[in-house]
């Protein structure tokens, strides 16, 4: 069973190590941050757009965050003699999770007040929680290249933190995600992801819940369950299937490459997965990441966003269902998809390919 060890960094932020079964216990040096306390005080607030109802976080302290440092100055690498200490004091680790030094959301929630004394613009502290998940101590590795037992440790860390953040009064939904590649906008090359505990339901979740409620009233069904069943019945957009998981290109995919990975059993979030489902996920997810990396000949390290959509922690939880959405902006070798006026300005999407063609290519490179 994966072992979790908790400690705190010099500025009071939490750090968790997740180690494989049988790994040696953590030493005191692994738990002691040698740096002097130097906290970054979050100044995030969120303001509601009166035209859409969307909450927008204003996190001005993030302007000073670390940006693409050389490998010998990476703050996510393990401690090494002769180099400045980073965020993780251990000399080696399997998976490490810590509170983000530059969070978009942090702390408790508070009632909104009118900005400039205008009720049109509610403003409130951007409460919630942001964490960083380091998949491996190897700076040059990638999540998809890890063996299944190491990916399983990552899955356990995701599940543990999902459960913990879901208990926080400030958190309405937990989103686990990875941004990979400079084309996506990463600021650190070390293989890592993030976890956001949102203090509100994001626009995509709000839109889904409206559709899911209408679907239930109309048909009595569960929208995400019915979508999965329909994709499996159609078959031609399915790109992998295992004992517990299925991956498919959604029928109305927006991105040049987009794949959803869903459990065959109805579960609300990562924390609800059984050991067998987690073992199978480690294999299935590794296979999916290899497939997308092989998609474009000559493209090494496909840029992508990969995020776990989980049920809300409160109202609407019964309508949620766990699934992964992975997408890439790489539409062809040497060519990226940029959001043009229709997509950026009006959220009216145009895809330059078809889901069926993408699915066929992903099956072709499945190995």
How far from chain centre, in Å, is Cα 182?
A: 17
Q: Which residue's entry shows tokens 């040497």?
A: 334
Give the ranges where 182-274 is alpha helix by DSSP (H): 203-219, 223-234
Closest CA to 258 of 245, 274, 247: 247
- DSSP strands (E only) in the chain: 3-8, 14-19, 45-48, 55-58, 95-99, 113-115, 118-125, 129-134, 173-180, 192-198, 238-241, 245-248, 257-263, 304-309, 323-328, 330-332, 335-336
Which position among 192, 222, 244, 309 bears the catalytic label?
A: 192
Residue 166, number of CB atoms within 10 A of its CB: 21
Q: What is the DSSP string of 128-189?
A: BEEEEEE--S-TT--GGGS-HHHHHHHHHHHHHHHHHHHTSTT-SEEEEEEEESTTTT-S--
Alpha-carbon distances, residue 39 vs 31, 60, 131, 196 (angstroms)? 18, 15, 15, 20
User: How far is it, in rounded angstroms, from Cα 284 to Cα 263?
Assistant: 11
Question: Is 222 among the residues known to form the active site?
Answer: no
How far from chain centre, in Å, is Cα 203?
A: 16
Contact by Cβ (8 Å): 322, 268: yes
By annotation, the residues acting in catalysis are: 192
């Amino acid at each position: 069973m994966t072992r979790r060890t908790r400690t705190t960094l010099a500025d009071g932020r939490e750090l968790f190590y997740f180690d494989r079964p049988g790994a040696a216990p953590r030493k005191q040096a692994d738990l002691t941050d040698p740096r002097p306390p130097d906290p970054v005080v979050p100044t995030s607030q969120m303001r509601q757009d009166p035209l859409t109802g969307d909450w927008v976080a204003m996190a001005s302290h993030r302007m000073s965050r670390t940006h693409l440092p050389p490998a010998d100055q990476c703050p996510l690498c393990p401690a090494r003699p002769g180099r400045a200490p980073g965020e993780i004091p251990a000399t080696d680790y399997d998976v490490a999770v810590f509170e983000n030094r530059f969070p978009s959301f942090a702390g408790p929630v508070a009632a909104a007040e009118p900005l400039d004394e205008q009720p049109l613009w509610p403003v409130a502290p951007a409460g919630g929680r942001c964490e960083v998940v380091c998949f491996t101590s190897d700076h040059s590795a990638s999540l998809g290249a890890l063996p299944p037992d190491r990916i399983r440790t990552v899955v356990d860390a995701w599940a543990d933190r999902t459960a913990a953040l879901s208990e926080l009064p400030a958190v309405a939904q937990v989103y686990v995600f990875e941004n990979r590649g400079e084309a996506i906008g990463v600021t650190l090359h070390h293989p890592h992801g993030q976890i956001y505990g949102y203090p509100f339901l994001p626009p995509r979740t709000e839109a889904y819940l409206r559709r899911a409620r209408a679907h239930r009233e109309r048909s009595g069904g569960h929208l995400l369950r019915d979508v999965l069943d329909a994709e499996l019945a159609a078959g031609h957009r399915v790109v992998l299937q295992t004992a517990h998981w299925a991956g498919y290109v959604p029928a109305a995919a927006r991105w040049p490459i987009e794949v959803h990975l869903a459990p065959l059993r109805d579960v609300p979030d990562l924390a609800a997965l059984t050991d067998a489902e987690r073992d199978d996920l480690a294999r299935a997810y590794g296979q999916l990441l290899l497939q997308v990396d092989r998609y474009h000949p000559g493209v090494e390290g496909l840029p992508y966003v990969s995020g776990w959509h989980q049920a809300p922690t409160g109202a609407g939880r019964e309508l949620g269902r766990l699934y992964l959405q992975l997408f890439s902006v790489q539409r062809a070798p040497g060519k990226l998809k940029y959001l043009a006026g229709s997509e950026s300005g009006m959220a009216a999407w145009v895809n330059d390919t078809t889901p069926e063609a993408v699915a066929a290519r992903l099956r072709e490179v499945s190995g």
